[in-house]
Homo-oligomer: A and B are copies of this chain.
């Protein structure tokens, strides 16, 4: 992609997130965004139809990255591991500014739902319905687990991250193994 587009989008998104951390989404104006991004107002409209589209693209982009941090190769190839879960929390930590903004901003209540939806899609592919889960209703189980993980993420991000990434991985990985959301340990 053209270097100019990347730079403009980067500046716009950064300005937008910064403003969202300061005030409600509704009272963020395109003018402010353009000014803070040091970009012409027309440039914003060149890439985004309006601020709802801007918010939408931001959320989509980050949720794709979030899933990718855990499932880097998608369906094919490598299975998720403790290491990839650590990558996920490192990614979350690095982008805590964005996630805090969208999770706490009064004007963006739908983000919680979209995070859960992304988790649902990811879980639906990963979960092993044999063994301990043989007699469970998959839909209910997936709902249960997606809520659990989403809640843990939201709690870790929204509170000032009281535990380290490694601590979170240790606890969460055990819970995921227990529910056959990841490859089972061999000595079992």
Contacts and interface: CB of A to CB of B under 8 A. Distances in A.
A7 interface: yes
Question: Which A-B residue pairs are the 4 nearest by beta carbons?
Answer: A7-B38, A3-B38, A3-B40, A3-B39
Interface of A: 3, 7, 38-40
Contacts of A40: 3
Interface residues of A, dominant DSSP:
loop
Nearest to A6: B38
What is the oligomeric copy number?
2
A12 to B, nearest CB: 14
4 contacts: A3-B38, A3-B39, A3-B40, A7-B38
A42 to B, nearest CB: 12
Nearest to A40: B3
Contacts of A7: 38
A7 B7 CA distance: 11
A11 to B, nearest CB: 9
A13 to B, nearest CB: 16
A38 B11 CA distance: 13
A40 B3 CA distance: 8
Contacts of A38: 3, 7
A28 to B, nearest CB: 21
Nearest to A7: B38
A44 to B, nearest CB: 13
A30 to B, nearest CB: 16
A3 B40 CA distance: 8
Contacts of A3: 38-40
A8 to B, nearest CB: 10
Contacts of A39: 3
Nearest to A39: B3
